[in-house]
Amino acid sequence: MLPITPTLFIGNQLDYENSVKNQPNWATVHACKEPYHREALGYKEKGAPKGHSEYLFAVRDNRLILNLVDSPDYRYISDVIIDKALDFIDEKLRDGLNVLVHCNLGESRSPSIGLLYLVKKKILKVKTPDEAMGEFKKIYPNYAPKGIWDFIKLNWKRYID
């Protein structure tokens, strides 16, 4: 688990389970479908029920649970999910909480959300996705995005403006 601001942290599933789970003064973005979204909705099938009101994300107390897979295809990534994560982070930081954004390994989805947060809030002052990647890797060296990188490049203007 690494801080990318004094109160915003990026990590993996073990960071959540071993350090943050049930801790006061913490909020969590679970940037992974397995196991958290499945547990929150209680589905047994391969995917969440498409008509479910919490198909894209679920909120439980100070936890945002995303239906987000680490697909090499950016089309499986919903801007609604990413925007909700960024808004949730902002809200919880304003509430004075520490925030952990984690996925299973802490390499692709969670750091990508962290990168977009820093760009949107102008904490990371960059103009292009490649510049952002270079600067962010100085903060979070384990960043190795998959399909979410294509999502970032295609949606860059939405987050930079």
Q: Going by DSSP bridges, is the β-strand pair 2-3/8-12 parallel, antiparallel, or unpaired?
A: antiparallel
CB under 8 Å to 69, separation ≥6 — which residues?
Answer: 32, 33, 76
- Convert the pLDDT of each residue in 87-138 to its tens digit: 999 999 999 999 999 999 999 999 999 999 999 999 999 999 999 999 999 9
CB under 8 Å to 22, separation ≥6 — which residues?
Answer: none
Separation CA 154–CA 161 (nearest Å): 14
pLDDT range class, residue 21, cuts 50, 70, 90: very high
Count CB neighbours of 100 within 10 A: 25
Q: Name the fold adopted by 2-160.
A: Protein-Tyrosine Phosphatase; Chain A (3.90.190)
Q: What is the per-residue pLDDT for 36?
A: 96
**Position 148 pLDDT exceeds 90:** yes
**Position 3 pLDDT exceeds 90:** yes
Q: pTM for the complete prediction?
A: 0.96
pLDDT range class, residue 81, cuts 50, 70, 90: very high
Count CB neighbours of 97 within 10 A: 17
- Convert the pLDDT of each residue in 28-40 to its tens digit: 999 999 999 999 9
Residue with tokens 């995303």: 66
* CB contact burial 14-29 (16+ within 10 A = b; e otherwise): ebbeeebeeeeebbbb
Q: What is the per-residue pLDDT for 49?
A: 87
